[in-house]
Amino acid sequence: MRPVTLVAGTVIVLAAVAGCRYRRTERSLVIVGRSPIVSLDPTTNSDYYAHNVFRNVFDPLVAFDAELRLAPALAVSWSNPSENLWQFDLRPGVHFHDGRPLEAADVKASLDQARHAESSAGDLALVTDVRATSPRLVEIETRLPVPLLLNRLSRILVVPRGQADVELPVGTGAYRFSSFDAGREVTIERFDAGWRGPPRWDQVTFSADPDGRERVDRLLRGEADVIEAPPLEDTPRIRASHVAKLVERVGAQIAVLGLNAQQQRGNPFARVEARRAVSLALDRDALVREALGGGGMPAAQLAAPGIVGFIPGVAVAPPDPQKARALLAAASLPRGVDAELLFSERDRRLAEAIARHGRTAGIRFRLEELTWQELDRRLLERSAAAYVYVITFPSGDVAELLMDLHTPTSDGLFGVYNFSGYSDAGLDELVERADLAMQPRERMALLETAQRRATEAYALIPLVIPQQRFAVRRDILWAGHALGRIDLESVRRQP
């Protein structure tokens, strides 16, 4: 194991680990996630774990706090003088890690770059112009009204103009990059000249291990302080440990079952009756127990609590395998269905439970576990018969999910992640109208109607709302984040 670099002037804690000595300091952290970080460019790398690092190094104009409230970041204030024009006043006294002052020209360059980057172009597809009208004033003009512009800007991180192809990029965040071993680990260190003031930690190392059990082993051996997504089967040994504990909270995520809805010959799920049959075969309360160990709640709609567009009071449909069989017969599938079900390592228990429940109604899923990268590739091909996927809401709004159920458009504005090939002109119209509605009451009514229409068509089948799960050393104090992010300033070490 490679030792973590020590920061001078801190107290060293030594722990014996498998014949070596692992060294860490009272003001350093080691975090282990699931997926390797292969690039430090925030404009091209959209990996969720990588952005846990990036959000401590770079800043957006506006940001969500832990409770999904929009708050100022690099923009100290903003206004919307007309439907198609936004103005942002930049925070004074902000500097990049190399000493350069933040100016409006840097924000303009970052937004222009994001408009042409594959990972973020959809967020800014309606932006027609970005202007630096003074060193501290940025104007954004859009082709049509964009009620979610602020939410989408929270995902665009600002870098200095002219920065390209550098090994360790600079930002304005509380931490700056110290070292990078592509695919293995990234180390960041404190930046005392940041606009937030001196940060909590001297140094933080982010590494990755796709093996969930090995992540737990590293935590219990003292080689990590925080690990992402500990496997459910390892819960007993974490709880029995004297060195580790779980951090769990219901988050802004929803696990769904996607079924291929394309009108293709031989596709068993092309008809809504077949998709509804699959939904009726599932006991969602049992899914929470079997797949989540009770750590979550059943889902009745395509939004999680706390997300804009969540509809209070929607009841979870009880399972009815007998009715499911009748629906399959009505869909010309009297002998049931055989189909492949794709999933990643994190969702293995959920996929296995879905397969068990499906058999009670004559739905026979063949399970195929894939890596994250392979699963994403298969889904983007729209070739999967069925898949389990956990949807996050980085904008805090159900519109992001509904836009991905829209029929794909050539401009990339809608349907980019429509993995099941679902298409409904009525839903498309509702989504497009909501995307332009600037009045909150009108927009909410459109979102509710669109979500009910998508749910009734089983465009995606809501399953469960899982808890965000991390495991940490017992001396770490942290409540987690609704979106599963790791904001280092909210992580403390107990004295």
Q: In the chain, what's the furthest Cα-to-Cα distance?
A: 73
* Strand 476-477 to 492-493 pairing: antiparallel
Instruction: Tell me the pLDDT of the chain averaged across its residues.
Output: 89
Residue 19 scores a pLDDT above 80 = no
Domain with residue 95: its CATH number is: 3.90.76.10
Same domain, 200 and 258: no
* Distances 113 to 55, 149, 171, 412 between C-alpha atoms, Å: 18, 16, 15, 16
Which residue in 165, 154, 68, 170 sits closest to 111, CA to CA? 154
Which residue in 154, 183, 174, 144 sits closest to 39, CA to CA? 183
pTM equals: 0.78
Same domain, 278 and 370: yes
**What are the E-state strand segments in 93-148?**
127-134, 137-142
The pLDDT-based confidence of 14 (bands split at 50, 70, 90) is very low
* Distances 149 to 337, 431, 450 between C-alpha atoms, Å: 43, 16, 20
The pLDDT-based confidence of 64 (bands split at 50, 70, 90) is confident
Q: H or E stretch including 422? A: none
Inside any domain, residue 384 = yes
pLDDT at position 122 = 63
Same domain, 82 and 202: no
Average pLDDT over residues 402-408: 93
Inside any domain, residue 5 = no
Same domain, 327 and 413: yes
Same domain, 119 and 149: yes
Same domain, 429 and 485: no
Same domain, 389 and 357: yes
Residue 119 scores a pLDDT above 80 = no
In angstroms, rounded to a whole number, what is the distance separating the alpha carbons of residues 296 and 302? 15
Same domain, 402 and 265: yes
* Strand 386-392 to 337-344 pairing: parallel
Range of the domain at 284: 253-467
Residue 254 scores a pLDDT above 50 = yes
Inside any domain, residue 30 = yes
Residue 7 scores a pLDDT above 80 = no
Structure tokens at 377: 């590739």
Task: Give the least confident one: 96-105, 293-302, 390-399, 486-495.
Answer: 390-399
Cα dihedral 277, 281, 284, 290, rounded to 10, equals: -140
Domain with residue 445: its CATH number is: 3.10.105.10
Same domain, 294 and 348: yes
Same domain, 149 and 198: no
Inside any domain, residue 161 = no
Average pLDDT over residues 421-450: 92
Q: How many domains does the chain have?
A: 3
Same domain, 198 and 257: no
Decide: helix, strand or coil at residue 140: strand
| Count of Cβ atoms closer than 10 Å to residue 492 Cβ | 13
**Angle, vertex CA 150, rays to CA 95 and CA 249, nearest 5:** 90
Average pLDDT over residues 260-288: 95
Inside any domain, residue 280 = yes
Inside any domain, residue 159 = no
Same domain, 285 and 399: yes
